[in-house]
Amino acid sequence: MAAKEEKSQNGILETIKTIVYALLLAGLFRSLLFQPFWIPSGSMKSTLLIGDFLFVNKMAYGYSYASCPSVIIPAVGINVDAEDLCGFMKGNNKRLLGGEPQRGDVVVFRHPVTGRDYIKRLIGVPGDRVQMKGGKIILNGTEVPQQTIEPFIEVMGPQGSFKNRPRCSNGAVGDGGDCVKTRTLETLPNGVTHEVLDIGRAYTDDTAVFTVPEGHFFFIGDNRDNSLDSRVKQVQGGVGFVPYEDLIGRADRIMFSSAGRSMLFFWTWRGDRFFKAIN
């Protein structure tokens, strides 16, 4: 009996060790290489839809305190922030093995004030002058060209786990109706072309000139009239200029996508978005 009990205890111990090793490896993978990210809002439509799931490439820009994982599990009271783990690295606005972000990159970063993860498109690099006029970007005094293409149409109704409803350029639309937005192709000076959506006149369509300070970046969402980004000051709920050290990584590819409230609702999976490159 003693031998059997010892064997059973050894088996339990080995199982626990296996789980611990697996968690350590998963933590190392997430900390150094890639971080999973769900798209919770429509600020990056049509590039990214609510329910898209992607891995953020942390190697693209090197590592800072923001590269440390956050572990938030409200159900069991766990709320460990990246700054709790690696806050000692914060403050010098530098990165280990740092790489230079490029205009047009889709980037996940920490909000400079709240610490929440955001995903937007990089428009302005240090030294750039960025302004919006009539819904178009004026970059260093030159208008960034846009070409109108077919409109973006989605079904009106609650979307994702937060049950957000889209905003439409064709007025009030009932559930099940077509929600339409004007869509253009925008081409940045470095040749990056991406889709931009427009709903109508918005207060962020016309701004003052923003001069991006050294070591900071300027981000805008592709769904221009439904995005709190660098066009809005932090004290007004926006993002403002984002320090280099707050970048987490670059979003390169959508791995999975679900149009439902849960990834388990297989009938809502968007098969055409699996492994889709992010432009």
pLDDT band of residue 48 (cuts 50, 70, 90) is: very high
pLDDT band of residue 262 (cuts 50, 70, 90) is: confident
Query: pLDDT digits over 108-158, tens only?
Result: 999 999 999 999 999 999 999 999 999 999 999 999 999 999 999 999 999
Query: pLDDT digits over 242-251, tens only?
Result: 999 999 999 9
Catalytic, out of 45, 58, 120, 136: 120
> Positive or negative CA dihedral for 225, 226, 229, 235?
positive
Same domain? 163 vs 25: no
Q: What percentage of the chain carries pLDDT values higher than 70?
A: 89
Same domain? 78 vs 27: no
Q: How many CB atoms lie within 10 A of CB 140?
A: 13
Strand partners of residue 220: 121
Catalytic, out of 43, 64, 70, 227: 43
Asked if the model's pLDDT at residue 256 lies above 80, the reply is: yes
Query: pLDDT digits over 181-237, tens only?
Result: 999 999 999 999 999 999 999 999 999 999 999 999 999 999 999 999 999 998 788
Contact indicator for 113, 243 with CB cutoff of 8 Å: no
Q: What is the mean pLDDT of residues 263-273?
A: 90
Assigned token pair, 21: 């090793």
Q: How many CB atoms lie within 10 A of CB 121?
A: 26
Q: Residue 73 is part of which domain span? A: 33-277
- Return left, alpha or beta for 191; rule: phi > 0 is left, psi -120 to 50 is alpha, else beta: left
**How does strand 52-57 pair with strand 178-187?**
unpaired
Check residues 237 and 5 and name the one with the higher pLDDT.
Answer: 237
- pLDDT computed for residue 204 by the predictor: 95
**Alpha helices, H only, the chain:** 2-32, 82-86
Same domain? 42 vs 12: no
Same domain? 132 vs 215: yes
- pLDDT computed for residue 70 by the predictor: 80
Distance CA 163, CA 178 (A): 17
Q: What is the mean pLDDT of residues 44-70?
A: 94
Which DSSP symbol is given to 41? S
φ, ψ dihedrals at 131, nearest 5°: -145, 150
Same domain? 139 vs 250: yes
Asked if the model's pLDDT at residue 84 lies above 80, the reply is: yes
Max CA distance (Å), the chain: 84
Same domain? 41 vs 7: no
This prediction has a pTM of 0.87
Asked if the model's pLDDT at residue 13 lies above 80, the reply is: no
- pLDDT computed for residue 41 by the predictor: 94
- DSSP notation for 226-248: G--STTS-GGGTS--SEEGGGEE
120 belongs to the catalytic site: yes
Check residues 197 and 15 and name the one with the higher pLDDT.
Answer: 197
Same domain? 185 vs 63: yes
Contact indicator for 151, 180 with CB cutoff of 8 Å: yes
- pLDDT computed for residue 22 by the predictor: 45
Same domain? 10 vs 42: no
Same domain? 11 vs 105: no
Write 23-32 long-range contacts (CB < 8 A, 24+).
27/69, 30/69, 31/58, 31/67, 31/68, 31/69, 32/58, 32/59, 32/63, 32/67
Same domain? 145 vs 232: yes
Same domain? 140 vs 237: yes
Asked if the model's pLDDT at residue 75 lies above 90, the reply is: no
Nearest to 246 by CA among 80, 122, 103, 78: 122
Same domain? 126 vs 23: no
Question: How long a stretch of residues is the chain?
Answer: 279
Query: pLDDT digits over 150-167, tens only?
Result: 999 999 999 998 899 999
What CATH number should be reported for the domain holding residue 262?
2.10.109.10
Asked if the model's pLDDT at residue 26 lies above 90, the reply is: no
Distance CA 141, CA 157 (A): 40
Q: What is the mean pLDDT of residues 168-174?
A: 94
